[in-house]
Chain A
Amino acid sequence: MIAILDCTRQDLSLLKREFVSPIIIITQIAGFRTIVLPLATLKRPSNLKGIILTGTSLMDDHYLTIGLPEWVLEWAGPVLGICAGMQLITIASGGRLIPSEAIGMTEIRCVNGDQLLDGKEQFTGWELHRSGVEISGNVTVLARSEAGIQMIRTNDRPWYGVLFHPEVRNEWIITNFLNICSKQEQYLDPV
């Protein structure tokens, strides 16, 4: 089971069609069962293999007032944070957000190898954000664009962040993440 944590503002259900539904489609095509939960969900679902944190609209910063729930912070298994999701991972791992406005396709260069990248060296990605990230020491940068950091991985567990939207023209990143999830044993509930 993959939990898709919906980072969009819950009273604007039109956003789900744009930022959550494409992730559900890609995950289900890859053969995974999905459960979609609002970011503010307090209880961890069972039989979890991975968590995807979605992005949201340019005008939406409600997710910053919610932050990652405790059960996600305690989770040792794979996480993929997309845009807003990457910003939440950055904050949770001691980094910070910086103003950085980007809309449209951008060149992305891989700077550190990882199974998520599957040997790719560069590609173009769809950006839609008003904040970039500055990371803390416990995080490795996997890819950059001219404007700054585009992909990260935390050093102590398989938590990934991508600032661009891989559901647009880069579904392979989500599929690679799901492959990472399928190789992991199911994580036990924290004692």
Chain B
Amino acid sequence: MRLAVLLSGGKDSLYSCWKAMQTDEVVCLVTILSKNTDSYMFHTPNIELTRLQAEAAEIPLIEYQTDGQEEVELDDLKASLQEAVNRFDINGIVSGAIQSVYQAARVQRICLDLGLWSFNPLWLCNQEEYLQELIDNQFEIYIAGVFSAPFDETWLGRRMDPRFVTRLMSIRDRYGISLTGEGGEYESFVCDAPFFKRRIVITGSEIIYKNHNGRFLITGAELEVK
């Protein structure tokens, strides 16, 4: 099957892309550039850097702008997938939804309208095993945003390594956060994945943080031979 992957730049979309590539043909990536930083649908920190990820993976990227207004942004998502149908003749799309029925329902509805298959390789997965799998397979992931207690400034820009997972698990039960951050607790950015031909090196960054709400903004990045 010819598939498009919805790419946010974070771990869930890149892992789902990797899984889809193992059985099917990923012919393009689709990124929605939202002007609304509070969107329920789309991830925003460092979103413009998906361009580098697509280049690293050597897969064409469709970038689509949206103002990010609730429900109107869904028309923009639909238009971006229609473009993927027109340009790359896709049969289906892949998303990184884990538990969010809000996102999953909306993507499913758009796919049905367009006659596309919808695949969610992470749906209801064992989150602990999933994080371990990311680490075991050398995904290079950094924390790009934190949006809830108890995350403070020290988490921003941190690499997701075994110590990170242990620390996450220790706060999970106390604060009721999801390990994968799917409740919007944190967001991530991927610099390297098993299918990248080159890796991204961060050459400049800035941290903005206030009251459990912060972003690790990548101001400079380039591709490096692996």
B111 contacts A18, CB within 8 Å?
A: no
Q: Identify A169's interface contact among B94, B101, B118, B122, CB under 8 A.
A: B101
**B:160-186 near A, CB below 8 Å:** none
Given contacts A15-B119, A25-B126, A57-B117, contact A168 B101 (CB under 8 A): yes
Given contacts A14-B23, A103-B108, A103-B112, contact A58 B124 (CB under 8 A): no
B1 contacts the other chain (CB 8 A): yes
A168 contacts B124, CB within 8 Å?
A: yes
Given contacts A57-B118, A167-B124, contact A126 B101 (CB under 8 A): yes
Q: Which residue of B lies closest to A60 (CB)?
A: B117
> How many interface residues does chain B have, given as a range?
20 to 34
Residue among B20, B24, B124 facing the most chain A CB atoms (10 A cut-off): B124
Bound-state CA distance A185–B23 (Å) is: 40
B120 contacts the other chain (CB 8 A): yes
Bound-state CA distance A17–B109 (Å) is: 20
Q: Identify A21's interface contact among B24, B92, B112, B125, CB under 8 A.
A: B125
Q: Which residues of A contact B121 (CB under 8 A)?
A: 14, 17-18
Contact with A along B92-121 (1 / 0, CB 8 A): 101000000100010011011001111111
Bound-state CA distance A101–B117 (Å) is: 15
How many chain A residues have a CB neighbour from B under 8 Å? 23
Q: Which residues of A contact B40 (CB under 8 A)?
A: none
A12 contacts the other chain (CB 8 A): yes
Q: Identify B105's interface contact among A15, A59, A105, A167, CB under 8 A.
A: A105
Q: Identify B124's interface contact among A22, A57, A59, A104, CB under 8 A.
A: A22
Bound-state CA distance A168–B97 (Å) is: 13
A128 contacts the other chain (CB 8 A): yes
B101 contacts A17, CB within 8 Å?
A: no
Q: Which residues of A contact B94 (CB under 8 A)?
A: 14
A13 contacts the other chain (CB 8 A): yes
Given contacts A57-B117, A57-B118, A59-B117, contact A103 B109 (CB under 8 A): yes
Q: Which residue of B lies closest to A59 (CB)?
A: B117
Given contacts A57-B117, A58-B118, A59-B117, contact A14 B24 (CB under 8 A): yes
Bound-state CA distance A168–B98 (Å) is: 11
A14 contacts B125, CB within 8 Å?
A: no
Chain A proximity of B81: nearest CB distance (Å): 14
Bound-state CA distance A59–B115 (Å) is: 8
A12 contacts B112, CB within 8 Å?
A: no
B101 contacts A58, CB within 8 Å?
A: no
Q: Identify B20's interface contact among A14, A57, A169, CB under 8 A.
A: A14
Bound-state CA distance A140–B122 (Å) is: 35
Q: Which residues of B contact A105 (CB under 8 A)?
A: 101, 105
B23 contacts A103, CB within 8 Å?
A: no
Contact with B along A54-92 (1 / 0, CB 8 A): 000111100000000000000000000000000000000
Closest 4 CB pairs of A and B: A22-B124, A104-B105, A18-B123, A14-B119
Report B's interface with A, CB cutoff 8 A. Answer: 1, 19-20, 23-24, 92, 94, 101, 105, 108-109, 111-112, 115-126
A to B CB contacts below 8 Å, 24 in the list: A12-B1, A12-B117, A14-B23, A14-B24, A14-B94, A17-B122, A18-B121, A18-B123, A21-B125, A22-B123, A22-B124, A22-B125, A57-B117, A58-B108, A58-B112, A59-B92, A101-B112, A103-B105, A103-B109, A104-B109, A128-B108, A167-B124, A168-B101, A168-B124
Give me 15 other A-B pairs in contact (C-beta within 8 A), A17-B122, A18-B120, A21-B124 excluded. Answer: A12-B23, A14-B19, A15-B119, A17-B121, A18-B123, A57-B117, A58-B108, A58-B112, A59-B112, A59-B115, A59-B116, A101-B112, A104-B101, A105-B101, A167-B124
